[in-house]
Chains A and B, each alone.
Chain A
Amino acid sequence: DAKTTQPNSMESNEEEPVHLPCNHSTISGTDYIHWYRQLPSQGPEYVIHGLTSNVNNRMASLAIAEDRKSSTLILHRATLRDAAVYYCILRAPGTGNQFYFGTGTSLTVIP
């Protein structure tokens, strides 16, 4: 299975944009890029996913490099409630639907 690499931790000031990077150099042509986040002692929460084109939803934006070897999750204005561990995950169709989580990026939002 293709792996992802994320920084262990990042900090952001409140109300500023946050760019969370993810490298996935071994991504295959059919792998979707998913992002989830997890608050302490809670289950992960879906954030966004995409295949090739950039994606936007009410929570965030996903920017996917043209070669698809990296992607960036963009939180447009960080709030204290965005402090969480963010996971970047690749998921291929037909693999039983399972996700493979790494250790993610722990985001600290500074008031």
Chain B
Amino acid sequence: DGGITQSPKYLFRKEGQNVTLSCEQNLNHDAMYWYRQDPGQGLRLIYYSQIVNDFQKGDIAEGYSVSREKKESFPLTVTSAQKNPTAFYLCASGKAGVGEQYFGPGTRLTVT
């Protein structure tokens, strides 16, 4: 089945540790995105990539890093520089242009 997978669903880390969230898609989409969602809030864009080996900062990129070495994969690293990393992280992909985005199931990260 085509779709977007994110793993793991739940992730727990100690403060000061970097952690990498996985996002894979088999929809042959050029564009991929990472969003963060806090309780009761809408989604905020962290990073996006329109093509392999290229990515752009979104509204809240500080403390995060990404890579796009393959079309199918867009991993997000939450670094120790991110002051409030506990959140629900959502990955999405889409075709270039104005079509819809397809979202993964999300990873809930808890940092203590």
Query: B58 contacts which chain A residues (CB < 8 A)?
Result: 98
Within 8 Å of chain B (Cβ to Cβ): is A91? yes
Please judge, given known A-B contacts A96-B56, A103-B41, whether A43 and B105 are in contact too, CB under 8 Å. yes
Instruction: Tell whether, in the assembled complex, residue A98 and residue B41 are in contact, meaning their CB atoms are under 8 Å apart.
Output: no
User: Could you pull out 23 A-B pairs where Cβ atoms are within 8 angstroms?
Assistant: A36-B101, A41-B88, A41-B108, A43-B4, A43-B103, A43-B104, A43-B105, A44-B92, A46-B100, A46-B101, A46-B102, A49-B98, A93-B97, A97-B33, A97-B94, A97-B97, A97-B98, A99-B43, A99-B45, A101-B42, A103-B40, A103-B41, A103-B42
Give 7 nearest A-B pairs by CB, closest first.
Answer: A43-B103, A101-B42, A46-B100, A101-B43, A32-B98, A103-B42, A97-B31
